[in-house]
Amino acid sequence: MARSEAVLSSVHRAYERAHVLSAARGVVLALLFTVAAIALHRTTNATWLVAAGLAATLATFGWRGGAWRRGGLAGMLAGVPVFVAPALYFMLAHGQHCPDCAMAPSLTCMLVCLGTSSTAGIAVGYAATRDPSPHRFAGGALSTTLLAGLLGCGTVGFGGALGVVVGLVAGGVTGWVVAGRAATA
């Protein structure tokens, strides 16, 4: 009986170790996004709050595993365009680094945030229908896409943050509905 207890204990430790390592990978990914946010965008106190939320969310989803982990990683991939779009737009349009947009963000920057977030939401909604657990996948993906997008578009100010939220919700619902219709057709 003692040997089976030792084996069971060993298996349990390996299981927990794998979950903790997955959570640590999520924190490292959030740190990489934070470093990129510092390099690409202006930082405020809100940046640090969003970065901490992203690290906590990715760690939780990584530790939880399953559809939450898959959705969290897919959401980070979907969040890359939302994260990078305002900086790329301003660099291509004006040939320089993003200015301090908190006082007077441009309408085009806000529209860039809205457009990329809508596209990311559509992709997440569509991908969620392909997962064995679509609700958990969508929850994980939309939350990490939102936080990654806020690291980039949040620098545009409240309008950019609102564009991310509205775009993700509208795009996610659209992707879900379009994929649902294709499945029943």
- Residue 41, judged by CB atoms within 10 A of its CB (0-12, 13-18, 19+), counts as buried
Question: Distance of CA 137 to CAs 68, 71, 134, 159, Å?
Answer: 5, 4, 5, 27
Residue 102 is given by DSSP the state: T
pLDDT exceeds cutoff 80 at 163? no
pLDDT exceeds cutoff 60 at 184? no
Q: Whole-angstrom Cα distance, residue 61 to residue 73?
A: 9
Residues with Cβ within 8 Å of 33's Cβ and at least 6 positions away in sequence, in order, are 51, 54, 76, 83, 148, 151
pLDDT exceeds cutoff 60 at 183? no
For the chain, the domains span 2-184
Residue 180 pLDDT: 61
Could you read off the pLDDT of 99-155 as tens digits, one per residue?
555 555 677 777 888 888 888 888 888 888 888 988 889 889 989 988 998 888 766
